[in-house]
Amino acid sequence: MVSSQGEGRFLVEVRGPGATSAHAVDVPAGLAEALGWGDGEEADLVRASFLFLLDREPPSSILSTFSLEVIARYFPDYPDSIRRRVT
């Protein structure tokens, strides 16, 4: 579940068997557009970014607070992959 917490900040809850994790995620101004997502699609970008992360690691390995721009430091294929997920 992705919920807006204000300008560029989102709370993501990941529920799995026997565990729930919560993550505070920032979307820097201009990042959504730079990744091919439209203005106002930040929540969808966060959701797609979490699907990307969950394909690669368990929820417990995802940072509890981070900015979307750091994903590419850990996963260099993130920008290209997330551009392909634009709806």
Residue 56: its pLDDT value, please?
94
Q: How many domains does the chain have?
A: 1
Tokens of 50: 């979490």
List, for residues 26-83, the tens digit of each pLDDT value: 999 999 999 999 878 999 999 999 999 999 998 889 999 999 999 999 999 999 999 9
In the predicted model, is pLDDT for residue 19 greater than 90?
Answer: no
* pTM of structure: 0.91
Domain that holds residue 51: 2-84
Tokens of 85: 């997920």
In the predicted model, is pLDDT for residue 87 greater than 70?
Answer: no
Residue 86: its pLDDT value, please?
78
